[in-house]
Structure 1
Amino acid sequence: MSNDSQVIDLFVIGGGINGAGVARDAAGRGLSVVLCEKDDLAEGTSSRSGKLVHGGLRYLEYYEFRLVREALIEREVLMNAAPHIIWPMRFVLPHSPQDRPAWLVRLGLFLYDNLGGRRKLPGTRTLDLRRDPEGAPLLDKYSKGFEYSDCWVDDARLVILNAVDAAEKGAEVLTRSPCVSARREDGAWTVQTRSQLTGETRIFRARCLVNCAGPWVSDFITRVAGANSARNVRLVKGSHIIVPKFWAGNNAYLVQNHDKRVIFINPYEGDKALIGTTDIAYEGRAEDVSADEAEIDYLLAAVNRYFKEQLRRSDVLHTFSGVRPLFDDGQGNPSAVTRDYVFDLDQTGGAPLLNVFGGKITTFRELAERGMHKLRPIFPDMGGDWTENAPLPGGEIANSDYESYVNLLRELHPWMPRALVHHYGRLYGARTGDLVAGATGMADLGRHFGGQLYEAEVRYLVAKEWALRPDDILFRRTKHYLHLTEAERRAFADWFNESAKAHAA
């Protein structure tokens, strides 16, 4: 370990969406930034969401009008910034007379259409489920429904792209490098990190510390930084299941359960469906969270209440569960706990610590921007706001619709099968050319591991996106795990680990 410390402006704890967003925003303002993450980028909550950029229709029921309005505005900002990983989706909401009355649902949808200055997305329409094709998979007792717009997002890639942009603007991104100590000394922070891979310890002197540790935000304040905060997070577990897709069309469904919770049933990875989420108070370690059988049964029952095709436990291909670090506003019902974010700025000893509590994927950019506003007195010479109209890496296709861009890729790479063009276009957008640079045929992509996974993509992710382990690639940089057999996943992991050893030697 070197005794020399690197002097920087801002040290960011946490490689989820908030931490990556803050690092990107700050680096773009000209600050020197280091971000550290104890695991992989997006390994926690930020890769375990419902994969939606949305205003939060159900938040209207809790009178969260400001939060919904801001999220709806951000929805369009993010669509422009990353059209390759964020795209419109239509949601069908069959009406159940046993739950919310139809007039209340329609009023909520009217507000949803008009609160956020919607410009790109089509508005709500009423459906006759006995006649309209969207009603075909539903039980006959549901005759009336509504259809409204929101957006799909590849949540983990949203994190990665923010980190990539931060790095390209000068930030240093350290993955699998937990912050092992942070202490105030002489008006600044002395921060120490330790690599889980090499054991290397590094020391930084930072003018300011930003704590975006998500479920671990309070733990970092007390255990690592030795500080205090009157605020806290409330951990709420949300679980999802993945099943084979059981309806035609690209639309999603939103159904109301008996307990008035709403469940999303979304098309996923072409031939699958993503169903979630639950909302359960969680007391355990965030690292240990998993979907339990009661949650799986709950989600299956919610779907089976509405659809002709009755799902069984054996239809569940995969499950995942995440812990949402919601700001603790004292609400008893986990579903009623605010999804808003709160800042806590502690300037003890002239060494500022900005703690971030709560938040949601849709509002991460705004959260980062407002966080930097909080820090302007500390960095009066930093640049102004810039992220609202800036594309994320690969999002430079915004002036063209996605399908037109895919057609352009096919013209540029006529040797590439359409399915592979679509895969690269969706994940890498305008950066696809970097991934396949120099290739003139499929053989140039290297070893084929199954599905759409080729060696060229793996090497790109290792070189450009901090992929250090097989799961970093299969689960977060991509969703290849859903399209490979168990034997193919094992073979890929063996190859990857052997390649890493050879490279290290």
Structure 2
Amino acid sequence: MSAFTEREALWGALARPWDLLIIGGGITGASVLREATRAGLKALLVEQRDFAWGTSSRSSKLVHGGLRYLANGDVPLVRQSIRERQRLMAEGHGLVVPLDFMLASHPKEGGKHWQGRAGIFLYELLTGRWPRGNHGSNRLRELEPSLVQEEGLIGVPYDEAWVDDARLVLRILREAVAAGGSALNHVRVTGLLREEGRVAGVELTDTVGQRSATVRARAVVNATGVWADSVRAHLSAAPKLRPLRGSHLVFSSERFPLSHGISFRHPRGDRFVCIMPWEDSTLIGTTDLDHHPSLDQEPSISPEEVAYLMEAVESRFPSLRLTLDDVVSCYAGVRPVISSGASDPSKESREHLVLEEEGLVTVTGGKLTTCRAIAHDALRALRRRIPELAALKPEGPFLGTAPALNEVSLSPEARTRLQGRYGADAPALVAAARPGELHPVPGTSTLWAELRWAARNESVVHLDDLLLRRVRLGLLLPRGGEAYLPVIRAICQQELGWEDSRWEAEARAYLTLWRIHYALPETPRPQHIGPPGSITLAS
């Protein structure tokens, strides 16, 4: 059955009774759906744009242990983050990848230098290991030759992990659907149904087929992230969120080689910048700014943010002589942060919130790393309405077991990659590949076969769904992969069922989207952009 046929069949079944309806197809909504299906519920997830369209495809790509929370004394949250990271690395091997990190610090930073070293010492103990020795100047020169050579500079090592965030969402969703759950993208909630003063369902509009439906459920979860207040507004509830934008620059690993993640203080303040290897690139971020444009608009990096991040790169890697011409792509995401009224955006808590209002359970905030634990917190709030949830074990498995791949033409690295990103689908993906499609797209580790599989099976509605989220070629290749569109068309057009006019319209729309939101702004400023603190970075 094609993805289009499955979509039509599911739309026709919306009138049936549901146990749980989840609004939002990011990491939180996907995790709630997965755990709800594990409890045997008839659960439906709807997403107004594409799966992982929002924050969940625009993160810093880190599955981190919560080092920054130690500054607030939140040791329990750090322990939880470390535990959840270990789980994801074990169950998502090949998708969640261990990464050696280090804090580049100098005694001239004063108390901040010693505070950072002490924080990592405690963090390492919480991970269950005795802290390692610091890297001195000579060792730093061996490990990262392009890092600035400064007498007295040390590297304080600690553990992190990186992830393809959108693929994590897709794997969780597909495993939930395989276990009996249902999910629809490009379906917007236009209203909440209330019966006897409680939310009992939603009104939906299919933005693809231009049709509407009414769906009833025993419980409704609002997992829309930064849009959570928009859903709550149907209940006239007061806003809770402070949308904060985080932006990143992407360089090719050939131009910006790096084998470790490196965090350091920006030269004009105390905020930390992280530069790390990711996929076949090097990533730098992130900013932390109040985001004022409409949330329905695709977010974009600002010229000021570009200048701020480039200043950080130039301060620590001057020998590379990197310029704006070396930036392959950039992206921006908006975080759903619970507002406390703090003057500095970076001082806001990153903890999540679970709130019940007139029967609607809202879950928002939090971090990708703790997605499973957040989902359990949301489902616990539903136990009075759905008693079956009491049997759900909080310490059970999260991701399914990925079967072995026996294709001899695949390298060990490619096998691990496919198993991690596609889980139980990996053997079928390999079997569907045509001659030559198990080779990588030049300049990346992405196999051509991944494009065919996604186009055939992963609910692709628009070309940007495919190139920005199912695979990440839009971030990894110059001009969003424009040079490879003819090859991508030959592989994917028939799988998508698009006529020539549809493909050409989608290609034009994708390239326009990329130029506006994933290329550098037209007027970046290379000079300093204001006094310290005018733009801050999340620590």
TM-fit CA distance, 1:427: 2.5
Mapped to 1, the partners of 2:487 and 2:257 lie a distance apart of 34
SS of the residue corresponding to residue 126 of structure 1 reads coil
Q: Does 1:212 align with 2:223?
A: yes
Mapped to 2, the partners of 1:206 and 1:96 lie a distance apart of 57
Match of 1:400 in 2: none
Q: Do 1:214 and 1:357's aligned partners in 2 also have CA atoms closer than 8 Å?
A: yes
SS of the residue corresponding to residue 283 of structure 1 reads coil
Q: Do 2:64 and 2:160's aligned partners in 1 also have CA atoms closer than 8 Å?
A: yes
**1:391–1:464 Cα change, 3 Å:** farther
Letter in 1 for 2:286: T
Q: Do 2:446 and 2:471's aligned partners in 1 also have CA atoms closer than 8 Å?
A: no
Match of 1:195 in 2: 206
Match of 2:408 in 1: 414
SS of the residue corresponding to residue 78 of structure 1 reads helix
Mapped to 1, the partners of 2:452 and 2:13 lie a distance apart of 34
Aligned residues: 478
**1:69–1:422 Cα change, 3 Å:** closer
Mapped to 1, the partners of 2:258 and 2:58 lie a distance apart of 25
Letter in 2 for 1:261: R
Equivalent of residue 164 in structure 1, options 168, 171, 174: 174
Q: Does 1:437 align with 2:434?
A: no
Deviations 1:120-153 (A, max 9, x none): x784431112234225322222532211111111
Structure 2 unaligned blocks of 5 or more: 1-10, 503-539
Compare 69-78 and 213-222 and name the one that shifted more: 69-78
SS of the residue corresponding to residue 17 of structure 2 reads strand
Q: Does 1:361 align with 2:368?
A: yes
TM-fit CA distance, 1:453: 6.0
**1:171–1:325 Cα change, 3 Å:** same
TM-fit CA distance, 1:388: 3.6
Q: Do 1:128 and 1:135's aligned partners in 2 also have CA atoms closer than 8 Å?
A: no
TM-fit CA distance, 1:97: 3.4
The Cα RMSD (Å) is 2.9
Match of 1:479 in 2: 472
Q: Does 1:396 align with 2:402?
A: yes
Compare 199-208 and 369-378 and name the one that shifted more: 199-208
Deviations 1:58-102 (A, max 9, x none): 232233333222212211122122112112111121113343543
Mapped to 2, the partners of 1:342 and 1:65 lie a distance apart of 18
Give the TM-score normalised by the residue count of structure 2: 0.81
> 1:362-377 counterparts in 2 under 5 A?
362-377=369-384
Match of 1:255 in 2: 264
TM-fit CA distance, 1:459: 3.7
Letter in 2 for 1:232: K
Letter in 1 for 2:217: A
Equivalent of residue 501 in structure 1, options 479, 498, 502: 498
Mapped to 2, the partners of 1:315 and 1:446 lie a distance apart of 29
Match of 1:17 in 2: 27
Letter in 1 for 2:482: E
Compare 421-430 and 193-202 and name the one that shifted more: 421-430
TM-fit CA distance, 1:30: 1.2
Compare 99-108 and 280-289 and name the one that shifted more: 99-108
Q: Do 1:264 and 1:276's aligned partners in 2 also have CA atoms closer than 8 Å?
A: yes
Equivalent of residue 354 in structure 2, options 343, 349, 354: 343
TM-fit CA distance, 1:434: 1.6
Compare 444-453 and 209-218 and name the one that shifted more: 444-453
> 1:147-296 counterparts in 2 under 5 A?
147-186=157-196, 189-222=200-233, 226-230=234-238, 232-245=240-253, 250-257=259-266, 258-270=268-280, 272-286=281-295, 287-296=297-306
Q: Does 1:126 align with 2:118?
A: no
Mapped to 2, the partners of 1:457 and 1:185 lie a distance apart of 45
Give the TM-score normalised by the residue count of structure 1: 0.86
Percent same amino acid among aligned pairs?
A: 30
**1:4–1:342 Cα change, 3 Å:** closer
Mapped to 2, the partners of 1:461 and 1:3 lie a distance apart of 24
Q: Do 2:338 and 2:352's aligned partners in 1 also have CA atoms closer than 8 Å?
A: yes
